[in-house]
Structure 1
């Protein structure tokens, strides 16, 4: 009787450990690498300003 009880306890232990191990949360995926692009913040402003100045110049030149 004692041996049968030990087998049941052993089976319960292995089932319990496998269920707990299976239910663990997966680690989050790694972060993507940063984009290797060029910074265009200041360049866009200079390009926009030079376009406005050139447009005003051309409009004054036609009058």
Structure 2
């Protein structure tokens, strides 16, 4: 029989949220969130890259006429 076997009630009792305020201070969103602020917006669009189609002009705007 281990030490904590006779103290199961105490171990359960100790699992309260004693660091609740510390979690609130340190959690995500309390700092700058320089890159994480964009993630939700990019997630909605499926993490697309580049500009919209046709934004860079036609594939070959001045074809050489031979």
TM-score by length of 2: 0.26
Q: Which has the larger radius of gyration?
A: 1
Higher helix share: 1
Structure with greater contact order relative to length (CA < 8 Å, sep ≥ 6)? 2
